[in-house]
Structure 1
Amino acid sequence: MAEHPAYPVGLRLTGRRVVVLGGGQVAQRRLPALIAAGADVLLVSPEVTPSVEAMADAGEITWHKRPYEEGDLADAWYALIATGDTEANTRASAEAERRRVWCVRSDDADEATAWTPATGHSEGVTVAVLTTDARGRDPRHTAAIRDAVVEGLRDGTLVAPHHRTRTPGVALVGGGPGDPDLITVRGRRLLAEADVVITDHLGPRDLLAELPPNVEVIDAAKLPYGRFMAQEAINNALIEYAKQGKSVVRLKGGDPYVYGRGMEEFQALAEAGVPCTVVPGISSSISVPGAAGIPVTHRGVAHEFTVVSGHIAPDDERSLVDWPSLAKLTGTLVILMGVATIGKVAETLIAHGKAPDTPVALVQEGTTAGQRRVDATLATVGETVKTEDVKPPAVIVIGEVVKVGPTVTAPRE
């Protein structure tokens, strides 16, 4: 029998009796999948681990608190033999053979009639890996193959084209602060499956190079605006491509709902009847300071942090930020889109009581190879931005946390 490879098959166990002999670590690892498959699980063992006992207490399995007895495999469709008693395992295996019950043995795979594959799951797909050569089985090798395939499916590096019709729609995907490795697993997978990608200039550009050549990539900054405002043009493009039956990804920097106008796009899509999925992203307001060695909170230093937009100066009547109140806070202040206005911001904060020597850090192009950190104080930051030629995108951190950690000028590998 060992000269022939195992025949792979998926068992549909819903409502069918599965018998597990032994309540140790092997059973603890295997039981959750059997329960998830809807099996009617009977566990036979004098003792079990606390986790297995919790499954029994919750009614997920039936536990007979005794050793194996002849007849325990009656009416079973599948059996897992995992006791520490070799003699009992042999007797149970023989019963399974007589009753034609497929049987897995944890102590002697050669005597089993079934093997448990290394399995993993990703978006409705189950990956199961079996070693075809019985004489050279290596569980670590099959597990490594399983992990590589599942990870590839999850992060989009292993792409299997869909041959059935997909539901068209739009995914608003937060790309993170810039480093392509910092996009979420779901975001990367949706990118790999997209027909059209409409991207911002702050979206992780390196991810676009990984897309298949048939994917249409559109720079949102170059859309033909005509009589529309820029955001209206983007909304219209999302709607039009989705209504053509295409899978569309709107790739944004950071998180779609943190100064990303994601809700405006979601509302426009909803009004047009276009299904939309929102995939959160890592916000630069936290990640970029962290990459530069700055914690936005730290015990004994800052118990809160506030994130504000600096794209409108404090003296502009359109500003919605309560700058006088911010000046009174003792925590960390993080400013996005504030390079052009930081001089006015600093003056306003000082005028309302913030100490002029309050530390300030400006982190340009955070998490990317071009990351640069420039330090200043509230009193000097306006001039420092000019002399150091700080350019957007940059995250500005104001507060004592700037002095807590080491200065990091480039992303950690």
Structure 2
Amino acid sequence: MLHFPSKNTAAHTADPTDVTRLHQLLGHHIWAFSNCRVDAPPVRVQEVDWLFYNSLNGTFILSEWKRFPAQVSQVRDVGEPWGLANGASVANPLEQVARQLDAVRRALRLSVVGKHLPAVDQHAINVYQSVYCPQVTEATRQERLRYGTVHATLDELARTVERRAVTAPLVVVSGIAQVALADALAELFRCSVGTAVRRKLDPPVAVGPPALPEPAAAAPRTRVAAIHRELAALHLELASLVDAPAPAPVPAPVPAPAQVPVPVPVPGTPAKKALAAQAKKSPPVAGHLQHHVMKHVPSARAGSDHVRVAFLAALQDGQLRKSGVHVGEFGALVGQRLEGSVKLASLTPGGLKKWCLTQAEAAGIPAEPDATHPSVVRLVRTAGQR
């Protein structure tokens, strides 16, 4: 995620914990403008908590963040207040975000579309509205909403930002045009462009003679990114097929001599020999990796947190210290645990390897790709380790 914080010193600032979590969930193709001030006369000036722009899908997602002193007991559509578990009523956030939507849409029409997206019909601008409220739980009664959605977790919000699509995407292709659009949006919504964001946005400087103009039929940046995502999904599926454990061959029965009695296990006695024989049947590395996935990733309703715990446990497993964690094998094992419509790509946005390294960094665990085998992630040896 590329974060554009408010440059208004009087504005509220985003919680660093929330910003860190969004960085983990969203890739650099998501531009996030926080604590925006939107001035689009004659519409009244609006203060916007978060405005997300998906530069690949060409979508804007407006998000109003609300935190209440008690659990939300009922979410109602516009026209009625929300109810809290303590019996209180609060102003309907959906009505607030609807007013913000009018201002954002008008500002985009007046200041952005004509100059940076001239081919887009101004009346086709479709900004998606949403509310994030962590006090909304499974026990909350929700009416059917006519517009937008209510998110109870940042994971749900991130999925909407990543997947939201429109019939008229607001996309610019070239790197120079993207920089100009980012500057225009930051200025429009009173946000700043940090040095790190600028470095990720600026296109590389061409070396040598100027290149000839590309033909109009050349593959646009959005299609290249989509192809990369499709390739990543295919690689994960291929890994799950190649690395799937084959059924153990059934050995042919060997008749035992009649005079040798067959040992009968005594109840309560530790079967050490049986355990040792079982351990020899599966490779230690694959067995340990599978153990962590089976232990921490449930077969039903698995989430990103389950995958993160499984990866960090495998990364710190002493038995896997020498081999490291093969990201492809790990993804294949996790994929075998997922059921229904849950996909590994939705749980690990931005790519599995990058996501794994981000989780290790967030947990304070030094890890890096192996220099010889980049698909393997291992702990970084420190001076205190042998």
Provide TM-score, normalisation by structure 1. Answer: 0.21
Question: Which structure's relative contact order is higher, taking Cα pairs within 8 Å and 6+ residues apart?
Answer: 2
Q: Hey, which of these two has a bigger chunk of helix by percent?
A: 2
Q: Name the one with the larger strand percent.
A: 1
Task: Give TM-score, length-normalised by structure 2.
Answer: 0.22
